[in-house]
Structure 1
Amino acid sequence: MTEVVKIQGLQKKFGKTLALSDVTFSVNAGEVVGFIGPNGAGKSTTIRTLLGIINRNAGDVQIFGKDVWKESLDIHKKISYVPGDVALWGSLTGGEIIDLFMKLHGHGDKQKRDELIRRFELDPKKKSKSYSKGNRQKVGLIAALAVESELYIFDEPTSGLDPLMEAIFQEEVEKLKAAGKAVLLSSHILSEVERLADRVVIIRKGKIVETGTLSELRHLTRATITATTQQPIQPLKTLPGVHDFVELSEHQATFSVDNQEINNLLVQATALGVVSFESVPPTLEDLFMRHYESV
């Protein structure tokens, strides 16, 4: 796969405060990378560095093989960016602002613009000063999606949107992925990241604490089991790797189990006579909370 974004050993300081420390990850063409972490973790600082808004103190940061600080103007010709709080010119209409953004970018598709205005149910004739936060986000999204780019950077893009509009955004991102575009998606909506992301990067206190596909990351935590057996289920409680055992009845219980112990659990459960056995893999939220529950 073609590497579009390359971040290696990124470090950023604000005075004596180390905001980013050894941040390393990449984004490939045809891939959606979910970038998650709470406010203050370093997501926006990383994105601002990628956009050439702020310069790094150390590390190598490239987009399309070009230095993001020295060659930002060339890079910006092929990227689209939507922040979490889109600021607009109040005296212009939404449609005028979208057209201005498209003109500045230089690769706009008016037919695509009109389709997006319809899908996102935006009134383009209203002055932007009358827009709600959700409508301001729609303007940013439409402008970003209506131009031809190779990299799309979304920083909390659906903030203020209702669930229906969130679903439309997700559909558009899936189209970008199918078209071979690279997408970096920073979002607090973990279900959104879980649906869209091929890989996930979790940042905590300026450091990357986990990175990988959801399948790979799920090996790091436990599956949740609900089991019913013909014989009393109590013996499963003391098996290696079994945690949080809750006995619902003499023959039924829910509990979590370490992945490496699932085979042994199945053998022991079979000996008790399995009536039903349901295993639910951990969600992205489970993985996220694993790193933040103590914060």
Structure 2
Amino acid sequence: MTAKSHIGEETAEAIFARHRARVFAIAYRFTGTVSDAEDVVQETWLRWNGIDTSEIRSPEAWLTTAAGRLGLDHLRRLRARRETYVGPWLPEPIVEAASDRHEPTPEENLSLADDISMALLHMLERLAPEERAAFLLHEAFDYDYGELATILGKSQAACRQIVSRARRRVSDDRPRFHASARDHERLAAAFSHALAAEDSNALITCLQRDAILYSDGGGKAAAALNPIYSADHIARFFTGIKKKFALPLDTMFVSINGEPGFALLHEGKMHSLLSIDVEDGRIATIYIMRNPDKLARAAETLGVELLQHFP
């Protein structure tokens, strides 16, 4: 049967539409890019469309399991591609207007399934595909070890070891306390003002002493080819950019992957996105997206044009 099959009175199309957001959530956390996530969603739909859905007891379980398997397949293929990527690879940002963001509740802060921060997604890139899949499905989407064994093709004991190893690696890198939106907004604004004023001391004041900066140009826009370490070196990096390019930039505060950040615009056109990770009241990590392929959707969402030439 095709998508005309139905469970009760609900069509297969309607069932998929109801669970599409969850399928995308899994796919985006697996792949880190919207286009790859949409490919997983489409492939999941094609599989769902090709079966007799009347035989499915739990459509949500079927769809999320299918998305998990397809996401793992994508992860394995993407790993080789990213090993040859020019410079640091960062996830494709999901951007909203700043006014659309809300302060998360304590319950939301405790839910890994709601965390799509650049910090978490970037950290997940350090995990092997099976570690990432097992960690996300178990910790974020509540899959038990029996379900993981089916998806990964391993024993439950092996899946326990994979999850445990991934959990240790994640906990070592994640801050113990989630910074509030107010702290993010305050530091994003202070950092933006310091950039505009070309005030190196003010920049350094915003940063942890051992802060790290990652910039993703993908070989298509000017960006640092290696991470930049320490507040002093980061301040010098921004000062050097100002002197080298002398490009007037305006700031638009936005929400990037659920957290405050800002877009830099040149003559009203998208130049870059800057996201921060906050620890202990200062900026611990800066993520700068310059790759035009990963900025196109953000520009469209914000209703601005993308720069045609990326200095």
Same fold, TM-score > 0.5, yes or no? no
| TM value normalised by structure 2 | 0.26
Q: Which of the two has greater helix per residue? A: 2
Whichever of the two has the greater Rg, that structure is: 1
| TM value normalised by structure 1 | 0.27
Q: Which of the two has greater strand per residue? A: 1
